[in-house]
Each structure stands twice: as structure tokens, then as C-alpha cells.
């Protein structure tokens, strides 16, 4: 029988679908923000930082899960909150500039949702770089909604893992008691 380990590897964050999508959101946001706003506009920094925060907190959360599921949950939730902030920025851009936000059942929305589900990051980024800014904002909104769903599922899974295994101190105590009993 294999002995339980106190610290278990979560693996490379780059293998997480939610991370790869976060990286795409960051890349599209950099392109969008520097194209949509004049240099010096605080919105550029705000949007790029929200996208970066989402991406980086997935990396940190995934690493922290090795010893603390609780900390991992908190950081993944920070990523989710950063992406919610970014989503509002894109929606504000469309509203303030009089652009249409694609309806969930529109052909454009459905096509982008499908592309966002199975397209490569590079091909989506190339498409975004060749489209008008209102289209890029709508593309980003769809990607952000997909990301929100992925992070929600990850948080639910981590919550179940926490309920099953407990926290790090509980696991340490349980393993010490088992080792002493041998």
C-alpha cells in the first residue's frame, strides 16, 4: 500500500485550461487596451493589471494548493474577481462608446463561444488583432465568461477536495498520528 504524502504536486499550471485561457485574455487585453485608449489613460493600466492579476493568481493558487487547499481556493477566487472587474471594463467600453454587446444567442456570440472552446490561443489572438475594437471587446467578454465558468468549476472541485481531505494542519496531524501508531 502506498503511503500518503503530506505535499502533493499539482503539476504545471500551464496544463490547466483555465490558465491557458487566462493567458489568452491577458494577451488580447494588452492588444485591446493599447489600441483603444490614448497613452497615459489609466484604463490601460487598470485593464492590463486586472488581466495580469487573474493570470498570475491562477499560477500562485495552483502552487499554494500543494500545501494549502484553503490558500489555493482564496487565490483562485482572487483570479475570478479580477476577471469580473475586467469583464465590467469591457462592458463599459461598449456601453460608453455606443457599441452593441453581442446577445448570447446571436450568431457572432455562438461562433466566438465555439472558437473560444476549441480554438488555439494564437489563432484567436490573430483574429482579435485583425478585427475592430468593438469586436475584440465582445470576443474578450465571451472568453471572460468562459473563464468565469472554468474558475467556478475549479473552485467547486477544490472545495470538495478540502471537505474530503481537510486543511494542511489536519492532514499533518492525521499523518503524524498514523505514523506514531506504526
Domain limits, the chain: 14-177
The mean pLDDT values, 10 residues at a time, for the chain of 182 residues are: 58 82 97 96 97 97 85 95 98 98 95 85 94 98 97 94 74 73 82
Q: What's this model's pTM, rounded to 2 decimal places?
A: 0.86
Q: What is the DSSP letter of 104?
A: T
* R_g over Cα of the chain: 20
d(CA 105, CA 96): 23
CA 114 to chain CA centroid, Å, is 18
Angle at 78 between CA 114 and CA 68, to 5 degrees: 110
pLDDT of residue 10: 65
Sequence-ordered list of residues with C-beta below 8 angstroms from that of 93, at least 6 positions apart, any chain: 36, 99, 133, 137
Amino acid at each position: 500500500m502506498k503511503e500518503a504524502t503530506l505535499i502533493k504536486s499539482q503539476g504545471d499550471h500551464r496544463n490547466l485550461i483555465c490558465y491557458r485561457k487566462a493567458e489568452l485574455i491577458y494577451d488580447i487585453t494588452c492588444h485591446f487596451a493599447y489600441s483603444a485608449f490614448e497613452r497615459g489613460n489609466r484604463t490601460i493600466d487598470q485593464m492590463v493589471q486586472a488581466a495580469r492579476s487573474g493570470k498570475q493568481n491562477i499560477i500562485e493558487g495552483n502552487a499554494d494548493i500543494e500545501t494549502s487547499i484553503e490558500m489555493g481556493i482564496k487565490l483562485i477566487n482572487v483570479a475570478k474577481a479580477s476577471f469580473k472587474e475586467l469583464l465590467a471594463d469591457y462592458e463599459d467600453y461598449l456601453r460608453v462608446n455606443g457599441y452593441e454587446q453581442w446577445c448570447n444567442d446571436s450568431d457572432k456570440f455562438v461562433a466566438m463561444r465555439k472558437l473560444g472552446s476549441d480554438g488555439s490561443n494564437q489563432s484567436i489572438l490573430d483574429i482579435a488583432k485583425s478585427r475592430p475594437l468593438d469586436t475584440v471587446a465582445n470576443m474578450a467578454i465571451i472568453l471572460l465568461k468562459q473563464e468565469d465558468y472554468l474558475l467556478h468549476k475549479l473552485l467547486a472541485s477544490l472545495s470538495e477536495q478540502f471537505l474530503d481531505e481537510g486543511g494542511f494542519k489536519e492532514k499533518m496531524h492525521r499523518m503524524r498520528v498514523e505514523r506514531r501508531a506504526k
